[in-house]
Amino acid sequence: MTRPDPTQVRRVAVIGAGVIGGGWAAHFLRRGLDVVVWDPAPNAEAKLRDFIAGVWPTLTRLGLAEGANPARLSFAPDIAAAVKDAEFVQENAPENLDTKRNTLAQIDAAAPVSTVISSSTSGFAMSEMQVRCQHPERTVVGHPFNPPYLIPLVEVVGGKLTDPAVVDWTAAFYNHSGKYGLKMMRELSGFLANRLQEAVWREALHMVAAGEATVEEIDASMTYGPGLRWALMGPCLTFHLAGGEGGMAHMLDHFGPALLEPWTRLIAPELTPELRDRMVEGCLREAAGRSIRDLEHERDEFLIELLGVLKKHRAKYKTGSQ
């Protein structure tokens, strides 16, 4: 079996052309790849071609790879025809476990044995989905965020029967195609980003249900507050700066008792010495030698530019200009 280098893939198959599958097709076309699509829905081809035409100006602004052209999109009459010459397959079947299992099994039976099969599932573990495949070792989750042609993140994780080399290959392929392929340590229900945003979402529902805040207040608190900082540094490195020159270590030592306060409906884990050390060490790795002052400067420069963009778009929204 000879699998192409992840930087040399030229032909991909997209199975399912709904919101996510269509977004993947747009992304791969922007990267100059040949894209073969199969979708059983009536008028699927016409709808996808119309969608691609509509977003192509956006993709052009984002930057087109050499050879990028909507004409490189083609449709196949069935799954077997779509994947028979594919060097990579992105599966986007409806989020139903039995449907996922059947679709992956059909892809696995028809695709070259060297071809990696990646699922866009938003919640199922690959261990649950790969059970009917003859070659489960080449199946992996590549969970995107909508819209896939704009949001870089793709969470990559294999199942119990997945070859670890396939996980590495898939992350490398996504990275080469302009995505951020984030390899997960292990399977986790909902993956990483979904769990984080779900925690915020559930707390928002609690606050609205209890009459503690309105929808508008919740969205404004995120848009004009932590959401701005998280766009650059995420919650962990942001709190690293909250500790001043002492970084995460000082923040945990000083604010650790606040974990017992009723600031969320979630129950906080015990702040053990081991957890404290892992958080501190992780922030130091992420800082990569940059001092607190360096990070603060980087954050401030980013926020100045981001606030300018936010102000511009808020003004357009309020005036109704296009």
Backbone angles phi, psi at 222, to 5 degrees: -85, -45
Out of 129, 152, 183, a domain closes at: 183
For residue 301, being part of any structural domain is answered with: yes
Return all residues near 243 (Cβ < 8 A) that are at least 6 apart. 249, 250, 251, 252, 254
Residue 231 pLDDT exceeds 70? yes
Dihedral sign, CA of 89, 94, 98, 103?
A: negative
Q: Which two tokens stand for residue 242?
A: 């909250």
Residue-level pLDDT at 60: 96
Domain co-membership, 229 together with 292: yes
Domain co-membership, 132 together with 43: yes
Out of 165, 183, 201, a domain closes at: 183
Query: Are the CB atoms for 126 and 162 separated by under 8 Å?
Result: yes
| Residue 162 CB-density burial (10 A; 0-12 exposed, 13-18 middle, 19+ buried) | buried
Mean pLDDT across the chain, nearest whole number? 93
For residue 308, being part of any structural domain is answered with: yes
Domain co-membership, 28 together with 133: yes
- What gap in Å lies between CA 107 and CA 196, rounded to an integer? 32
For residue 265, being part of any structural domain is answered with: yes
Residue-level pLDDT at 311: 87
pLDDT category of residue 321 using cuts at 50, 70 and 90: very low
Residue-level pLDDT at 263: 86
For residue 154, being part of any structural domain is answered with: yes
- What gap in Å lies between CA 275 and CA 248, rounded to an integer? 12
pLDDT category of residue 319 using cuts at 50, 70 and 90: low
Residue-level pLDDT at 4: 94
Pick left, alpha or beta for residue 244 (phi over 0 → left; psi -120 to 50 → alpha; otherwise beta): left
Query: Residues 94-106: what's their mean pLDDT?
Result: 97
Residue-level pLDDT at 239: 92
Residue-level pLDDT at 312: 87
Owning domain of residue 177: 11-183
Task: Give the side-chain half-sphere CA count within 13 A for 48.
Answer: 32
47-63 pLDDT, tens digit each: 999 999 999 999 999 99
pTM over 0.75: yes
Domain co-membership, 166 together with 245: no
Domain co-membership, 95 together with 163: yes
- What gap in Å lies between CA 141 and CA 124, rounded to an integer? 9
151-210 pLDDT, tens digit each: 999 999 999 999 999 999 999 999 999 999 999 999 999 999 999 999 999 999 999 998
1-23 pLDDT, tens digit each: 689 999 999 999 999 999 999 99
Domain count, the chain: 2
For residue 215, being part of any structural domain is answered with: no
Task: Give the side-chain half-sphere CA count within 13 A for 198.
Answer: 9
255-299 pLDDT, tens digit each: 888 888 888 888 888 889 999 999 999 999 999 999 998 998 898
pLDDT category of residue 322 using cuts at 50, 70 and 90: very low
Query: Residues 230-240: what's their mean pLDDT?
Result: 92
Instruction: Quote the percentage of the chain above a pLDDT of 90.
Output: 82
What CATH number should be reported for the domain holding residue 87?
A: 3.40.50.720
Domain co-membership, 175 together with 246: no
Q: Which two tokens stand for residue 57?
A: 């100006």
Domain co-membership, 167 together with 262: no
Q: Which two tokens stand for residue 309?
A: 């963009």
pLDDT category of residue 317 using cuts at 50, 70 and 90: low
Q: How many CB atoms lie within 10 A of CB 311?
A: 10
Name the nearest CA neighbour of 14 among 2, 30, 31, 26.
26
Q: Which two tokens stand for residue 313?
A: 């778009």
